[in-house]
């Protein structure tokens, strides 16, 4: 039986400033020099019967690797044994390339043997000419070109034994490929028991968005009050929230309806997170610790880290995963929504926002007159692509609900955290050579988490 992927993805497009022919070739050349490493979900599904990103000891995780540059590739993993399972594999790839009154486009990958099957979806833009990854048209058009082509790549295999886990029940393992100054990496989870890995794939990993200001449902305290981790509440019930800030500015708190108050201050909150080092010697915690940080290396040992507030410094660059446990102090907020606040509606989503300086954090709480049900958050990834070429765009600065959460990786992907189904979130994206997403004409300023 196929298992549901615990991750949901939202893909938004980004509008480039210029689309001249030389930029198309430059972009194609830069893409060829990039190392793309990702889970081979199709092959994993063929082997295990469903796609997954968590594995048990004794199971093999598979990755696919794309690189068309001249430098020699090398491979590393923070734990276990990594090998090339197959070379010169022709992966079938299909994508839609959008032309926005332009003559030039670009494929995400270089087609094997320049062999591309194509079809216009809607208006006919004429016969395209394929030159490697670059697509040239005779006239500027507004249209969508469906392209199917084979891509040469490699398949890597990762095996992790029980010795790599030591006393841990589960660890994260980072796999990295590098060529010259370019790197690509992916992370998987390994568990001592296969059953635990299967359960993790169903429920998702515990992750939170990075930042110095965070606001979320206080699952521990809501469970204490109601006997279960509630994410939906009835009118008249209190929803308890956890606010953690390492900002110097005072925090302002707002709610779209109902009343919001501080239930208690200086509430200790245990934090546990894993910091990935992809051939780097610096990292950053989500929050500023109150006191010391307990740490352990999962796989490769990167030496003794130095913690300075949220910053982490290592003796030298490593490929490794550092598990950190520490405590922070925050506030517990109480949200009350009455029957009158529902204004005759059966279901109502209430948005609570915290603002400190230029930083914002928000959470959406659902109130319902129907039976109250628990809704588990969904781990969300954002993938950013070029509006004109369809290429994934890396190094895009992403702001989620006003909070700077980092930049997209080489595949154009950034993890947004665990978000409630049905909740709507604001996005802003910036990068040199592109129009800021809040200044373009595309509908890429917000998204809604799927309900199922």
Whether 324 and 272 have beta carbons less than 8 Å apart is answered as yes
Tokens 């084979």, residue located: 150
**Which tokens is 221 given?**
């305290």
Q: Can you list the alpha helix ranges (DSSP code H) found in 136-218?
A: 162-165, 194-203
**Residues of 243-255 as b/e, b for ≥16 C-beta within 10 angstroms?**
bbbbbeeebebeb
**Which tokens is 312 given?**
């982490």
**Residue among 191, 213, 192, 209 nearest 201 (CA):** 191
Residue 43 has φ and ψ, to the nearest 5°, of: -70, -40
**Residue among 225, 261, 265 nearest 244 (CA):** 265
Query: For position 314, what pLDDT does the model report?
Result: 94
Q: Can you list the alpha helix ranges (DSSP code H) found in 214-335?
A: 219-226
Query: For position 64, what pLDDT does the model report?
Result: 92
Query: For position 404, what pLDDT does the model report?
Result: 80
322-335, pLDDT tens digit by residue? 999 998 888 999 99
Please tell me the distance from the alpha carbon of residue 262 to that of residue 248, in angstroms, as a whole number. Answer: 19
354-365, pLDDT tens digit by residue? 888 767 788 888
Whether 186 and 39 have beta carbons less than 8 Å apart is answered as yes
Q: In the beta sheet, which residues pair with residue 199?
A: none
Query: For position 251, what pLDDT does the model report?
Result: 86
Query: For position 2, what pLDDT does the model report?
Result: 31
3-state helix, strand, coil in the chain (%, to 5): 10, 55, 35
With a cut of 70, list the residues of the chain below it in pLDDT: 1-24, 26-28, 30-32, 199-212, 248, 358, 371-376, 421-422, 440-442, 451-452
388 CB-near residues (< 8 Å, 6+ apart): 15, 16, 19, 98, 99, 100, 102, 104, 105
**Which tokens is 271 given?**
């934090």
**Residue 150 burial by CB count (10 A; 0-12/13-18/19+): exposed, middle or buried?**
middle
Please state the pTM of the whole predicted model. 0.53
Query: For position 207, what pLDDT does the model report?
Result: 39
DSSP 73-105: EEEEESSSEEEEEEEEEEEEEEEEEEEEEEEEE
Query: For position 304, what pLDDT does the model report?
Result: 95
216-226, pLDDT tens digit by residue? 888 888 888 87
Query: For position 403, what pLDDT does the model report?
Result: 78
Whether 66 and 207 have beta carbons less than 8 Å apart is answered as no
């Amino acid at each position: 039986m196929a298992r549901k992927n615990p991750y949901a993805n939202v893909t938004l497009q980004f509008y480039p400033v210029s689309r001249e022919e030389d930029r198309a070739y430059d972009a194609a050349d830069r893409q060829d020099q990039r190392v793309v490493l990702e889970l081979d979900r199709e092959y994993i599904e063929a082997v295990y019967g469903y796609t997954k990103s968590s594995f048990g000891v004794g199971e093999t995780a598979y990755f696919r690797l794309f690189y068309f540059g001249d430098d020699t590739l090398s491979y590393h993993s923070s734990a276990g044994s990594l090998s090339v399972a197959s070379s010169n594999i022709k992966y079938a790839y299909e994508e839609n390339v959008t032309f926005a009154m332009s003559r030039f486009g670009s494929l995400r990958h270089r087609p094997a043997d320049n062999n591309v099957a194509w079809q216009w979806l809607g208006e006919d833009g004429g016969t395209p000419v394929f030159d490697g990854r670059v697509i040239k048209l005779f006239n500027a058009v507004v249209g969508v070109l469906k392209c199917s082509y084979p891509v040469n790549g490699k398949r890597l295999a990762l095996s992790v034994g029980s010795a790599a886990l030591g006393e841990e029940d589960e660890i994260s393992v980072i796999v990295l490929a590098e060529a010259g100054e370019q790197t690509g990496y992916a992370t998987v989870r390994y568990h001592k028991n296969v059953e635990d890995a299967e359960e993790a794939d169903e429920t998702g990993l515990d992750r939170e968005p990075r930042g110095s200001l965070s606001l979320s449902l206080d699952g521990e305290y809501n469970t204490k009050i109601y006997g279960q981790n509630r994410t939906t509440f009835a009118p008249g019930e209190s929803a308890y929230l956890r606010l953690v800030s390492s900002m110097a500015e005072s925090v302002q708190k707002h709610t779209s309806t109902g009343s919001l108050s501080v239930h208690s201050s200086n509430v200790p909150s245990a934090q546990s997170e894993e910091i990935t080092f992809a051939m780097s010697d610096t990292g950053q915690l989500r929050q500023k610790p109150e006191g010391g940080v307990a740490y352990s290396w999962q796989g490769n040992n990167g030496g003794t880290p130095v913690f300075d507030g949220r910053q982490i410094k290592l003796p030298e660059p490593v490929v490794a995963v550092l598990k950190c446990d520490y405590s922070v102090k925050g506030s517990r907020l109480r949200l009350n929504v009455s029957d009158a606040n529902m204004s005759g509606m059966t279901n109502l989503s209430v948005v609570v926002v915290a603002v400190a300086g230029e930083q914002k954090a928000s959470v959406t709480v659902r109130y319902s007159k129907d039976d109250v049900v628990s809704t588990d958050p969904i781990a969300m990834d954002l993938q950013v692509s070029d509006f004109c070429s369809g290429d994934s765009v890396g190094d895009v600065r992403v702001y989620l609900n006003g909070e700077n959460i980092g930049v997209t990786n080489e595949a154009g992907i950034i993890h947004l955290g665990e978000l409630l189904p049905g909740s709507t979130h604001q996005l802003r994206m910036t990068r040199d050579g592109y129009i800021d997403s809040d200044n373009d004409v595309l509908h890429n300023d917000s998204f809604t988490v799927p309900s199922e």
